[in-house]
Amino acid sequence: MSTKQMPAIDVERVAKLAMLPLTDDEKKLFASQLSSILSYVAKLNEVDTTNVEPTAQVTGLTNVFREDEVDTTRILSQNEALKNAPASYNGFVKVKVIIWR
């Protein structure tokens, strides 16, 4: 990819993946804004990263585990668990929308 090209971003497809409803205006605006960001980001192609390992974390830590023990201090009561839910029913979280496939 050359830095001059304006990469296209299929906002509609991406928004669907992200389960993000966008208005037509938002789609248009983001397409142009993200395209200019991506052109800027194309700079990265100037960097030779042959034989360079990607960095996902910077602590250098490995093998951080917890022992297999029950921690009652953090368990929430049913009330606490449901308190912030917009809808609940008989101890369950209730989901109205059918947009979930």
Partner 1 sequence: MEINSLTIQSALDVLKKKECSARELVAFYLDRIEKIDGKINAFLTVDREGALQQADEADSMRANDVTKPLLGMPIACKDLFTTKGLRTTAGAKIIDNYVPPFDASVVGRLKEAGAIIIGKTNEDAWGHGSSGENSDFDVTKNPYDLTRVPGGSSSGSAAAVAAGMCLAATGTDTGSSVRLPAAFCNLVGIKPTYGRVSRYGVIAMASSFDTIGHMTKTVADCALVYETTSGKDLFDGTTPDIDVPSYAKSLGKGIAGTRVGIPKEYLSLPGMAAEVKAATQQAMKTLGLLGADIIEISLPHTEYAMACYYILVPSEVSSNLSRYDGIRYGHERSAFGAEAKRRIVLGTFALSAGYYDAYYKKAAKVRTLIKKDFDDAFGAVDVIMAPSSPALPFRIGEKSEDPLAMYLSDIFMCPVNIAGVPALNVPCGFVDGLPVGMQLIGPQFSEARLFGVASAYEAATQWHTKWPKT
Partner 2 sequence: MAHKMAKNMKYETIIGLEVHVELATKSKMFCGCPADHFGKAPNTITCPVCLGLPGALPVPNKKAVESTIMLGLALECEIPLESKFDRKHYFYPDLPKGYQISQYDQPLAINGSFGNVRIRRVHLEEDTGKLQHATIEGEAVSLVDFNRSGVPLVEIVTEPDFRTLEEVDVFLKKLQQIIRYLGISNADMEKGSMRIEPSVSIRTLKTEELPLYRVEIKNINSFKFARKAIEYEIERQTEMLESGEQPKQQTRGFVESKGNTAAQRDKEEAHDYRYFPEPDIPPMRWKSSQLSAISRQIGELPDAKKGRFMKDYYLNDYDATLLTEARARAEYFEKAVSIQSSVVSPKAIANWIINKKIDLEKVTPAQLLDQILQSTQTTSVSDNELEKIIKQILSENEKAVEDYKSGKDQALMFLVGQGLKSLSQKGNASIIRERLINAIKSSAQ
Given the rule CB under 8 A, which residues bind partner 1? 1, 9, 11, 14-15, 17-22, 26, 30, 33-34, 36-37, 40-47, 49, 52-59, 61, 64, 66, 74, 76, 80-81, 83-86, 93, 95, 97
Calpha distance 15→30 (Å, rounded): 11
Cα 82 from Cα 101, distance rounded (Å): 24
What residues make contact with partner 2 under the rule CB under 8 A? Answer: 17, 19, 56-57, 59, 61-78, 81-82, 89-96, 98, 100-101
Other Cβ atoms less than 10 A from the Cβ of 95: the count is 13
Give me the least distance between CB of 24 and partner 1, in Å please.
13
- What's the first-to-final CA gap in the chain, in angstroms? 36
